[in-house]
Amino acid sequence: MDKIYLNQLEFYAYHGALKEETALGQRFTVDLELNVDLKKAGQTDQLSYTVHYGEVYEIVKSVVEGQTYQLIESVGERIAKEVLSTYEMVKGCKVKVIKPTPPIAGVYQSVAIEIDREPSDYE
């Protein structure tokens, strides 16, 4: 299956299990991998045969910057559900939500979750 990638989408939001996270907010990064048959788009050069990246960005933005969730697992799940329900041509969606600076004592680069969903996961 062909793939479309949207990498390192950055947002500021208020997700977290701790009071400080929902009060102060923090940066979140999202990587998205969409399984789409791109053959016809490549052959015809027509946007109607692929997924509009700008629209997908807006979906991700509305989820990340919209409702507040305690868990980034919930953020990832909601992104996958919205993308898959919006685009019938997307046959699978992998979402990685990265929290670069969670309030954890220690040395680390980031924490993240990754989910892999198909349209049938939401029937």
- How many angstroms separate the CA atoms of 106 and 40, rounded? 49
- Which of the four CATH numbers 1.10.3720.10, 3.40.50.2000, 3.30.1130.10, 3.55.40.10 does domain 3-122 have? 3.30.1130.10
Q: What is the pLDDT of residue 103?
A: 86
- How many angstroms separate the CA atoms of 74 and 92, rounded? 18
Is residue 39 annotated as part of the catalytic site, yes or no? no
Alpha-helical regions (H) of 25-112: 39-44, 53-64, 72-86
Catalytic pick from 39, 40, 61, 99?
99
Q: What is the pTM of this model?
A: 0.95
Which residues neighbour 123 within 8 Å (Cβ) at sequence distance 6 or greater?
none
Q: Token pair for residue 100?
A: 């670069």
Q: What is the pLDDT of residue 74?
A: 98
Q: What is the pLDDT of residue 94?
A: 98
Q: What is the pLDDT of residue 30?
A: 98
pLDDT, one tens digit for every residue, the chain (123 residues): 999 999 999 999 999 999 999 999 999 999 999 999 999 999 999 999 999 999 999 999 999 999 999 999 999 999 999 999 999 999 999 999 999 988 888 988 999 999 999 999 998
Residue type present at position 69: Y
